[in-house]
Structure 1
Amino acid sequence: MARKRRLLLLGGTGEALRLARELDGSSRVHCISSLAGRTDHPVLPPGEVRIGGFGGRPGLVTYLMNEGIELVLDATHPFATQICHHAQKACEDLGIPRAKLVRPAWVPSPGDRWTVMPDIAAAAAFLRVHPARRIFLTLGRQDLAPFVPLAGANDGDPGDGRWFLIRMIDPPDPDTPLPPGEVILGRGPFRPEDETALMRQHHIELLVTKNSGGSAAKIAAAAELHLPVLMIDRPPLPPGEILRSVGEALAWINLHAV
């Protein structure tokens, strides 16, 4: 029997979970799924799984060498910039084939009220002059700090500040600074009708989100309610082969698993 090639699958997305399930029991590839460990109760893929960081680019190089990794498929979130760049450089250093699976970004439809922001800081700064007072934040725990000062950010009147509906997967740490408002917990995918009902219930006037792609329920809900959206653009990718679907990723793995 031919030896299986060792694949490191950088995961944490639905696409990575689907890939791990497709590769489970493969006769050609031994898949090791790597999760960053940012959520408390992740959905674990089948097969071998490691959780936690590598210790930067040097740590990743060491891991790849020690584990005899021969292929790397980066299926991390479109905004997971650090691991994406570390993987590109580490694989370049070691001559290991690497590709990045990138889910298609959302694009506005006619009538959508998007304002595209280059990053989180720009979105928070833009809100200082935007008239919306009830804002739906669908960002990670690590992205909330720039919005905390906006509580009384209108003409210096503390009573005229913003109120935020903040959705995240896990509850924030007790010492995490939060904007004023309400925290709700939830893990997608969500249904458009539920998102519409949630925004109506809380009288949301504006949605702030990253252009993550994938399930577009909140985008559809905002469009139905004619709400403006602050859409945070994706960061640039490092050089390398780009794959656009799970099918393309499987084909790439099969091509290199010889």
Structure 2
Amino acid sequence: DSKMTNIIKVAMADYAEEQYDVLVTTQTKLTVQNFIDRVRKEMVRIEVHEKPDATVMCSEYSDKPAVVKNLVTFDFYSLEGFAATHSTGKRKNHETAKVEQTVCSIFPRRLATCEVDNQFYSDEGYRFVLAKHPALRSKHLKILGGYRCQEYVEKKAEVLTEDTLEFLSWEGYFKLFRHKQLTGGLYNYLLTIDQEGYFFRLGQKLPPEEASRIVDKARFLAGGGEWASFTDDQHDAYWYNLRDKVVTKTNPYFSY
């Protein structure tokens, strides 16, 4: 899994850096337990907390998403399926409950992740529509549930670092900012995010087209992707493709 590979790579680099600092300062070594605990925590986050839920489909028409649940038989139905099975007979008087799920308008088996021009899309559905109708980028892209901080996943992101494409809360930003002060790699460009998901650069709202492209790149990068970044002895960065086994010195995420 590319995402987990990148996480382990970063965790190993952090562990090696901490090991070196402690060794130089105290002449003692760190135990490997903290590294193992971090990897386990990330595995739980990816496989349990971030694993996307599947769309609940209709028991009668398997290609349609469910909108109602029969509380007696515990079956799920679309409006068409419910009408076909509950108009007569014993089921007509069965108690029901509404199914709360926001489904992609292009791929009904996928749950929606964003809203554009009053239509809901999954990530795949949005890219599919963009390929056919590029003008859709002129509409505001709203991510359902908002953007999440990559440093503190329980918090909403309030800024996007334009040079590294990281979604961060202010707490996460200042934590990483202090680290970058020590390593000499300061953030140079910062976008702020308001409650409605609009992006601002130095107080000026970004046009929808520009914001959409930046968000696409940032979310693609946050998902891990198939590229792993490294730095050589001269501190020059390069990227290795885990699938195709090729190397590039141009950031592939910025060309996405």
TM-score w.r.t. the length of structure 1 is: 0.23
**Larger strand fraction of residues:** 1
Return the structure number with greater relative CO, CA threshold 8 A, min gap 6. 1
TM-score scaled by structure 2? 0.23
The answer to which structure has the higher helix fraction is 2
Higher alpha-carbon Rg: 2
